[in-house]
Amino acid sequence: MSNFSVAFRDFDIATILTVYGELDAHTAPELESAIKKCVNEGKIYLIVNGHGLDYISSAGLGVFMAYIEEIRALNGDIKICALKPKVFNVFDLLGFPRIYHIVKTEEEALSLFNQGIQPV
């Protein structure tokens, strides 16, 4: 039933989490444990690539909130890139662009890490 998956990939200093499918209350724990795993392994420069993400619910958005404080306390960040317009709209309505860097490409996200720019 679950049509959601996460793929890990190292990209320079960052770790890219490519998400596919629908991120809702049922699938949110998968992404949450993926992020938790990265944090536990000391990977704090995370880029979530959302080009394969078809849908996100409020519970899915909550996942980004769960570890952000911890990651930022370590000078890391979660950056979001390549969202479909419809999915971006959900992020946007909630005001996520004010809190997270939401960019077009992984490279942009990486350069933001390299420049050490924090969104807030």
Partner 1 sequence: MAILSVFKRLWRWLPLIGFPLLFIGTTVFAFLGGLDESSTLVQRIVHHAALVLCFLCLWITVARLVHNSRPTPVQTFWQTILAILGISFVAFLAFQIQGDFIERSVPAASIVHIKSALLSVLLAGLSFFVVHRLGRLVRFRRTRTGERNWRLMILFIGVASLSTALVHHLFESYLPEGLYAILPIIVLCLTAIIFILMNSVRLAWIVRLSLRGKGAAIGLGTAIIVLLVCVLAALGNVGSIVGSATLTPPGNFLLFYSTPLTVVTFFFLFFGLIYALTSVLSLIFHLPTTADYRRSTDEMVAMRTLSGLLREVVESEKLHQWAVSTPVESGHANTAWLTVQNLESGSLTAHIVASRNIESKHINELCDITAIHNTIVQTREPVLIQDTLIDTRTRKSKSGKFESLLAIPLSTRTEVLAVLFASRDVIHAFEREDVEAIGVFASQATLVLENARLLEATIERERLANELAIARDVQQRLLPQTMPDLPNLNLAASSVAAREVGGDYFDILELGEGELAFIVADVSGKGTSAAFYMAEMQGIFQAVARIAPAPDIFLGHANQALGESLEKSIFITAIYGIINCQSGRIALARAGHTPAVLVDASGNAKLLCSDGLGIGLDRGELFKNVLEVEHLELKPDDLLVLYTDGVVESRNHEGEEFGYDRLLQTVQAARNEDAQGVHDSIRQTVDEFMGSNKSYDDDLTLLIIKWHGCKTLSSGTTQTSLS
Number of residues that bind partner 1 (CB under 8 A): 20
Nearest to 68, CA basis, from 58, 59, 78: 78
**How far is Cα 91 from Cα 89, in angstroms, rounded to an integer?**
5
Beta-bridge mates of residue 102: 80
Q: Give the residue, chosen from 66, 72, 84, 108, that forms a contact with partner 1 under the rule CB under 8 A.
A: 66
| Binding segment toward partner 1, per CB under 8 A, in 10-18, 45-53, 96-104, 108-116 | 96-104
Site membership for partner 1, residue 61 (CB under 8 A): yes
**How far is Cα 15 from Cα 9, in angstroms, rounded to an integer?**
6
8 vs 62, which CB is nearer to partner 1? 62
Phi, psi dihedral angles at 89 (to 5 degrees): -60, -40
Site membership for partner 1, residue 65 (CB under 8 A): yes
17 vs 68, which CB is nearer to partner 1? 68
